[in-house]
Amino acid sequence: MIVSPRGSLKRCWQAFFSPFGGRLLPVQEAAIPLVFEGRDLLVSSPTAGGKTEAVTAPLLERALAESWSSPSIVYVCPTRPLVNDLYRRLSLPMTSLGTTCDRRTGDHPRPVQRCPPLLLITTPESLDSLLCRHPRIFEELRAVVLDEAHLLTASARGDQCAILLSRLRHLVSRRSPKRRLQTVALTATPASPDQLLDRFLVQGEIVSIPGSRPLETRLERWTADSDLGGLVAREVNRLTARKVLVFVNRRQDAETLAGILGSALPFGGQVFAHHGSLCRSFRESVEERFLTARYAAVVATSTLELGIDIGDVDLVVLPFPPADVTAFLQRIGRGNRRSGTCQVLALYRTPAQREWLRFLIDSARSGRLYPDPSPFRPSVVMQQILSLLYQGKGAWISAAVVHDRLPDSLRPVFPVARIERLAQALVDSGYLSWTGKARLSSTAEADRLHRLGQIHSNIDQAPPVLEVIDEFTKERLGSIARSDVSPTNFSLGGRGMRVIRSDPERIYVRGDASNIPAPLAARPPPRLGLEIAQAFGGSLGREIPSPVMVTAGEGLALVHFAGTLASHVLGAWLEHRGLGRVSAIRGLAVRFTPSGARPVRLPSRSELEKIVVLEAATISRALGLGPMGARLPVEETLALATEALDLGRLETLLRSEVGEPQPTGLPDGLPYL
């Protein structure tokens, strides 16, 4: 007998679906029966398609019907703001059901092990910390939900999640050998569904609901900061928009444009900045004020790309082109989630940026996302060696134990001998010591980092910063970049600050009318993959996008259409050959100042291999290795760089002569993409 989704949700229907008129969305109709059956799923549907309820409601129904122990469900989110948003969304229906949910992050480090909730929402780092310190609370776990899984696929944090899931499965099966840990991954934009399945699920199947909301995009050119306010204000008036969300690629731009729009839009003081240099309370205050305000605008980095509930957004503005199709979809997906058509104002400064935007729009409409697969990072295995060491009751660990905790797909890739070599690198770095033939124990330095909670992250370390403290309340507001010259006033979060005093670690401020952007710590730009670089070259009418030399300011640019990693290799080749000094690495090109003879022939396979040996560390760092990347053995770094580059294909793409710079038909500004 087939039971309808509504009929199976006897306890949870009212709590989860009555606020939406009791109507199930397509992804909910498709996924709910399969979740009830305990299957591993990759659930894919457009933004705001109802994926959270499609998974959470049937899991909670089973938990209540079968009296699951707490915690029985772990919900892993890639960012803290998304954790906070899910906590707000799920608390009300779960309270009405008489059960509990809680969150655990670095912003909310509550000791959940004392009274575990039925559903725990957390990040990969906090899950690692809990699993390391309190593994027993997960022995009765029944299900793990991995949200926004596409953001983790090609990152060190995604590699970490794959091992954490395997460790959880091992804990559960050791406690109850016949029990399977159900795993569900959610995504709105899966560039490579098969890679998601291989990375995170054991016996997974795909529930995919195609489709997208109508998209109305206006392309406008701006050449100076003074243009921006007028362009956005005009579009606000045309649409009678009340809520505007502006996405930028850098924190510095968020502060700069918030100041510009604050004086141009008819929203009074309701124009905010939102980015990772703001502290938790400041970011959450911006989210709440934007949600509840009648008229408001926020200028944000990727911190607001995900499914955080900030209400309906009438207009999304893109002053700078996003890095790829996935980022484009994430950003425009925040607009008009309840009313239908996405209204987007996309701006450009050069003809090349205009062509890139057209390419992104066309790719988004046709569903072409261009996956950028990357090898599993051995630096993550090093981090997990330390985490597993502290999870165990004993004072030692072996490579064989680590090997046993890896996912089945990784065990052939990381045999015991390879894990021992990675462990030896930790010994050489002062984190571990050998206490027997195959046993490793911690050192005082590792114990110190463990006490401070600094062994759980695979996010690359940020540059040094100064904390910004409110002089009156002593509340931490955020952080700014360290420099030799301390600012006297600046804006942070779109709000003016006047520096009152400072010490070597902090700056104390009061409110001020300043609109000078704060000096913020910069992060490397996103990596552009080979597939999307080649596809963009094809969109310009180049059937086989081959390298060309073009003039770029006072220098030259080698435009290769082969992605960021290729730029690192070609830039190193130019400098090692004495052909020029590199001034910029971009996803499509290397910009350089020639010194003497100009390159005519591009590097051969043997030359590429020599450059990779010399530049393996730089190439590997571009993949985002996390803090342990600096301690990777040389042979591991070289192997990772070689695998990530695909030298055979790169050799084929570079098999041409570039000759003298000449008019190419390429749009102006291309070397800057």
For 71-105, write each residue's pLDDT tens digit: 999 999 988 888 888 998 899 999 999 999 999 98
Instruction: For residue 478, give the H/E element and its range.
Output: strand 476-481
Question: What contacts 264, CB < 8 A, 6 or more positions away?
Answer: 228, 229, 230, 232, 233
> Stretch 527-549: mean pLDDT, rounded?
85
379-451: same fold as 5-208? no
Q: Does the structure show a pLDDT above 60 at 339?
A: no
Lowest-confidence segment of 54-68, 157-171, 508-522 by average pLDDT: 508-522
Under the phi-then-psi rule, with left for phi > 0, alpha for psi from -120 to 50, and beta for the rest, what region is 538?
A: alpha
Q: Does the structure show a pLDDT above 70 at 664?
A: no
Per cent of the chain over pLDDT 70 is 95
Task: Tell me 25's DSSP state.
Answer: -
Buried b (16+ CB within 10 A) or exposed e, 642-664: bebbbbeebbebbeeebeebeee
Q: Give helix 378-391 / helix 416-428 axis angle, nearest 10°.
A: 80
Using 50, 70 and 90 to split pLDDT, how confident is the model at 337? low
Using 50, 70 and 90 to split pLDDT, how confident is the model at 152? confident
Which numeric CATH code is attached to 215-366?
A: 3.40.50.300
Q: Does the structure show a pLDDT above 70 at 129?
A: yes
Per cent of the chain over pLDDT 90 is 49
Please give the distance of CA 457 from its chain centroid, rounded to a whole number: 14
Of the options 3.10.105.10, 3.20.20.70, 3.40.50.300, 3.40.630.40, the CATH number for the domain spanning 5-208? 3.40.50.300
Sign of the four-CA dihedral 164, 165, 169, 172 = positive
Q: Does the structure show a pLDDT above 50 at 449?
A: yes
Which numeric CATH code is attached to 379-451?
A: 1.10.10.10
Task: Enumerate the domain spans of the chain.
Answer: 5-208, 215-366, 379-451, 465-511, 530-672
For residue 1, what pLDDT is reported? 42
Rounded mean pLDDT of the chain?
A: 88
Residue 573 Cα distances to 156, 225, 527, 536, 590, angstroms: 27, 37, 20, 24, 11
For residue 563, what pLDDT is reported? 93
Measured CA to CA, the distance from residue 530 to residue 649 in angstroms comes to 10
Measured CA to CA, the distance from residue 219 to residue 605 in angstroms comes to 42
Amino acid code (one letter) for 273: A
- Which one is predicted more confidently, 584 or 269? 584
For 174-224, write each residue's pLDDT tens digit: 888 888 899 999 988 777 788 888 888 888 888 888 766 677 889 999 988
For residue 121, what pLDDT is reported? 95
Task: Tell me 410's DSSP state.
Answer: T
Measured CA to CA, the distance from residue 420 to residue 402 in angstroms comes to 10
Measured CA to CA, the distance from residue 180 to residue 170 in angstroms comes to 10
* Concatenated DSSP letters of 558-616: EE--S-HHHHHHHHHHHHHTTSEEEEEE-SSEEEEEE-SSPP-BPP-HHHHHHHHHHHH
Using 50, 70 and 90 to split pLDDT, how confident is the model at 108? confident
Tokens representing 325 are 């199709």
> Stretch 63-70: mean pLDDT, rounded?
92
For residue 420, what pLDDT is reported? 96
Amino acid code (one letter) for 611: I
Task: Tell me 658's DSSP state.
Answer: -
Tokens representing 42 are 């990759």
For residue 416, what pLDDT is reported? 97
Tokens representing 566 are 């290729």
For 399-418, write each residue's pLDDT tens digit: 999 999 999 999 999 999 99
For residue 189, what pLDDT is reported? 73
> Stretch 550-573: mean pLDDT, rounded?
90
* Concatenated DSSP letters of 193-254: HHHHHHHH-SS-EEEE------EEEEEEE--SHHHHHHHHHHHHHHHT-SEEEEE-SSHHHH
Q: Does the structure show a pLDDT above 80 at 2?
A: no
For 469-512, write each residue's pLDDT tens digit: 999 888 899 998 887 667 788 888 888 888 998 888 899 999 88
For 579-626, write each residue's pLDDT tens digit: 899 999 999 999 999 887 776 788 989 999 999 999 999 999 999 999
Tokens representing 287 are 């989210």
Q: Does the structure show a pLDDT above 70 at 112?
A: yes
